[in-house]
């Protein structure tokens, strides 16, 4: 067994620009035990890189997220991302999650499909009318999830320029000092608190209103929990999907045979979104460390009670013990239990919505533009937890 005395290596491994998975992960998967790593801030941690180890750490209740609040948790930016539903354990986590879970089930989300489809087509009409080239991020990838989450949550879509800045900063890593990060969070909270007040005075048919009812009539959450939950839904509800749309397009343009197959067999779109979720390592590196609440053996390493473990889902999704030809993109790959949406109690709340948006956005785009191609230099996001183009000029 590996011991905690091993000298930690610098992490994250991935290049922040591009979507490649660092070769260091494959090496790590082949070595027994977990990897000892150190991030720019916080205490050293164990890193799980194999599929089975990742599932164990994410799914086992003996690992805690809430403990991170008491610790100098391993992180890429100075600001501590404390608070919110991602830093809770059951039963507190369950109490909040169940209040919103029903809005995001497969059944509920499917009702939005016609609306999302119409949205994608009207955005493509606008692109066509304006003519190439166009920035796929600003004109297509962002407007889709922003419009959908604003409508579901009850946030005015015209505020997008405002919350874009805060949302970017919330996921930013080393570009902000702890004080700047804190100030940004307070601005976003103040903005959301004003919206909550407006909804209290004039209830509507949206998630914010149902959360206000759960607070004011059922006392099921505190005012700060209410505000933070709305902030979390707004940020998580658009940032990752808006990033994955151009990422998926980049990867498909890089795999012309797979893209051709997807155009010829559009019924593969649902499966191809799952395959792209598996294939694209979105994060620069693992974050949101889990803390062992007792001694637990993971992949040949004895993790001591109180030690943090990071889970590299991008690496787990390329584990040859789980996936045939893991490094190959195969849009017709049979269904897999990839970890792109996480696993366990923190499994992405919005996964059904993200799937629907990705399916519709990708399907409509490649269907409309048979000659879709890059038409300029891609500018990559910088110092963010998620990787992807900030600007992606395309022609058709």
Partner 1 sequence: MTWKAEVDGGRCMASGMCAGIAPDLFVLDDERARPLSEEVPEEERVLDVADSCPAMAITIVDGGATVVGPRP
Give residues in contact with partner 1 (CB under 8 A): 55, 58-59, 61, 90-91, 94, 97-98, 101-102, 104-107, 337, 341, 343-345, 347, 349, 351-352
Nearer to partner 1, 75 or 343 (CB): 343
In the complex, what is the shortest distance from the CB of residue 93 to partner 1, in angstroms, rounded to a whole number?
8
Nearer to partner 1, 113 or 373 (CB): 113
H-helix or E-strand spanning residue 217: none
313 CB-side CA count, 13 A: 26
Nearer to partner 1, 195 or 354 (CB): 354
In the complex, what is the shortest distance from the CB of residue 230 to partner 1, in angstroms, rounded to a whole number?
19
The label of the residue with tokens 């230099």 reads 377
In the complex, what is the shortest distance from the CB of residue 89 to partner 1, in angstroms, rounded to a whole number?
9
In the complex, what is the shortest distance from the CB of residue 163 to partner 1, in angstroms, rounded to a whole number?
25
* Distances in whole angstroms, Cα of residue 95 to Cα of each of 88, 215, 345: 10, 12, 12
Nearer to partner 1, 258 or 319 (CB): 319
Nearest to 52 by CA among 335, 302, 299, 288: 299
Q: Which value, to the nearest 10 degrees, does the dihedral of the CA atoms of residues 168, 174, 178, 179 take? A: -60
* Distances in whole angstroms, Cα of residue 271 to Cα of each of 2, 249, 330, 350, 368: 38, 15, 10, 18, 20
- Are β-strands 308-311 and 290-292 bridged in parallel, bridged antiparallel, or unpaired? antiparallel
Residue 345 Ramachandran class (φ > 0 left, ψ -120 to 50 alpha, else beta): alpha
- As a 3-state breakdown, the chain gives helix, strand, coil percent values, each rounded to 5, of 50, 10, 35
CB neighbours of residue 161 within 10 Å: 7
Nearer to partner 1, 107 or 219 (CB): 107
Nearer to partner 1, 3 or 94 (CB): 94
Nearer to partner 1, 167 or 210 (CB): 210
In the complex, what is the shortest distance from the CB of residue 97 to partner 1, in angstroms, rounded to a whole number?
6
Could you tell me the two tokens for 247? 């990422």
In the complex, what is the shortest distance from the CB of residue 190 to partner 1, in angstroms, rounded to a whole number?
30
Cβ atoms of 43 and 67 within 8 Å: the answer is: no
In the complex, what is the shortest distance from the CB of residue 278 to partner 1, in angstroms, rounded to a whole number?
13
Cβ atoms of 194 and 159 within 8 Å: the answer is: no
Could you tell me the two tokens for 62? 């003996």
In the complex, what is the shortest distance from the CB of residue 51 to partner 1, in angstroms, rounded to a whole number?
11
Nearer to partner 1, 94 or 222 (CB): 94
Alpha-carbon distance of 350 to 241, in angstroms, equals: 10
Nearer to partner 1, 91 or 256 (CB): 91
In the complex, what is the shortest distance from the CB of residue 346 to partner 1, in angstroms, rounded to a whole number?
8
């Amino acid at each position: 067994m590996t011991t905690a005395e091993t000298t930690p290596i610098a992490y994250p491994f991935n290049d922040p620009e591009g979507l490649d998975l660092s070769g260091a992960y494959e090496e790590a998967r082949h070595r027994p035990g977990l990897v000892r790593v150190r991030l720019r801030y916080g205490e050293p941690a164990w890193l799980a890189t194999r599929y089975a180890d990742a599932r164990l750490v994410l799914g086992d209740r003996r690992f805690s997220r809430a403990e991170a609040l008491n610790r100098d948790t391993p992180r890429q930016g100075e600001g501590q991302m404390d608070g919110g539903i991602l830093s809770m354990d059951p039963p507190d986590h369950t109490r909040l999650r169940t209040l919103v879970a029903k809005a995001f089930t497969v059944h509920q989300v499917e009702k939005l499909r016609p609306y999302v489809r119409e949205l994608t087509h009207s955005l493509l009409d606008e692109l066509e009318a304006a003519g190439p080239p166009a920035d796929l991020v600003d004109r297509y990838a962002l407007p889709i999830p922003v419009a959908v989450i604003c409508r579901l949550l009850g946030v005015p879509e015209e505020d997008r320029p405002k919350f874009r800045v805060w949302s970017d900063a919330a996921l930013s890593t080393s570009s902000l000092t702890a004080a700047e990060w804190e100030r940004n969070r307070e601005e976003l909270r103040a903005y959301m608190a004003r919206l909550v007040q407006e909804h209290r005075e004039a209830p509507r048919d949206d998630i914010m209103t149902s959360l206000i009812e759960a607070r004011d009539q059922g006392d099921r959450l505190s005012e700060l929990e209410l505000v933070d939950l709305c902030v979390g839904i707004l940020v998580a509800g658009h940032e990752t999907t808006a990033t994955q749309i151009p990422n998926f397009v980049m990867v498909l343009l890089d795999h012309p045979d797979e893209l051709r197959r997807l155009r010829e067999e559009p019924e593969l779109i649902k499966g191809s979104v799952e395959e792209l979720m598996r294939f694209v390592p979105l994060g620069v590196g693992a974050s949101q460390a889990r803390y062992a609440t007792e001694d637990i053996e993971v992949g040949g390493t004895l993790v001591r009670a109180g030690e943090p473990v990071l889970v590299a889902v991008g690496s787990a999704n390329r584990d040859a013990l789980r996936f045939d030809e893991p490094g190959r993109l195969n849009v017709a790959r049979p269904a897999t239990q990839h970890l792109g949406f996480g696993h366990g109690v923190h499994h992405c709340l919005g996964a059904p919505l993200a799937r629907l948006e990705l399916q519709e956005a990708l399907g409509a785009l490649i269907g409309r533009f048979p000659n879709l191609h890059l038409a300029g230099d891609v500018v990559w996001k910088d110092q963010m937890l998620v990787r992807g183009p900030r600007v992606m000029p395309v022609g058709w």
